[in-house]
Amino acid sequence: MDTAPALPLNQRIRADIERRIRSGAWPPGHRVPPEHELMIEYGCSRMTVNRALTSLAEAGLVVRRRKSGSFVRAPDPQIESVALQIPDIPLEVAQRGHAYRFHLLSRRRRVARRRVVHEMELADTGGRVLELRGVHLADERPFALEIRLLNPDVVPDAATMDFSVTAPGSWLLHSVPWTRAQHRIGAVVADDEQAGHLDVAPGAACLTIERQTWRGSACITFVRQWFLGGRYELVAGAGPG
């Protein structure tokens, strides 16, 4: 049973506003209700409302204009073009002519490990992260193993999203804007557990990708993926300037 404490009021206000923005109920340019209206709606102080709006502004979801109020921010075209550098595995598999499916192995909300930096960055106010484990399949054959951590406060909709139907990475790419990403690429041999999920012998060569994304100062997700050495390649282009 999930016994995480209820969100502080300022974070609940933020989550409510963010949900309206992401659902399209409040499109770009929409004026967020003034602070005094939000104070009445939530029965709270101006400071509480201000903290919620400041958090939304830092995350790049709203623009605050002095004497005018807060408005839903339009997507940044430059950020959208950068987002294309993060691969959409279902799309890549389909483009290769294979049938794609994501198999969700497990889903749990657990305590973040204090000695793991990226987990503490992702921890919600209750000190927990949402952990998803799954396998990407191409024609029902394992294509990649994935372990993903999400920040429940930054992406509250993840708590109810059916990731057995939609791969977490694809959902994030199309639903949650980000402003910064960090990648680490390496090579390992599969241990017994990883080999079992990838349907190969232990010791098989794997390409590993670790990716962490942020929106403003808030960490959205950390993912570690294992690809079989002969089934995936990274290609990067460059030009002058």
Task: Give percent above pLDDT 90 in the chain.
Answer: 45
Within-domain flag for 3 = no
Range of the domain at 63: 9-74
* pLDDT given at position 211: 92
pLDDT tens for residues 3-42?
Answer: 445 678 988 899 899 888 877 888 888 999 999 999 999 9
* pLDDT given at position 167: 92
Query: Residue 155 carries which DSSP code?
Result: -
**The domain boundary residue, chosen from 21, 40, 74:** 74
pLDDT over 50 (residue 232): yes
Cβ-proximal residues to 197 (8 Å cutoff; 6+ apart), any chain: 105, 135, 142, 145
Helices 46-58 & 9-23, crossing angle to 10 degrees? 50
Contact 50, 32 (CB under 8 A): no
* pLDDT given at position 151: 93
Are 37 and 155 within one domain? no
pLDDT over 60 (residue 234): no
What's the full length of the chain, in residues?
A: 241
Are 172 and 65 within one domain? no
Handedness of CA 131, 87, 21, 69 (dihedral sign): positive
Are 97 and 206 within one domain? yes
Q: How many domains does the chain have?
A: 2
Poorest-pLDDT segment among 1-10, 40-49, 102-111? 1-10
Choose among 193, 23, 180: nearest CA to 106: 193
CATH of the domain at 148: 3.40.1410.10
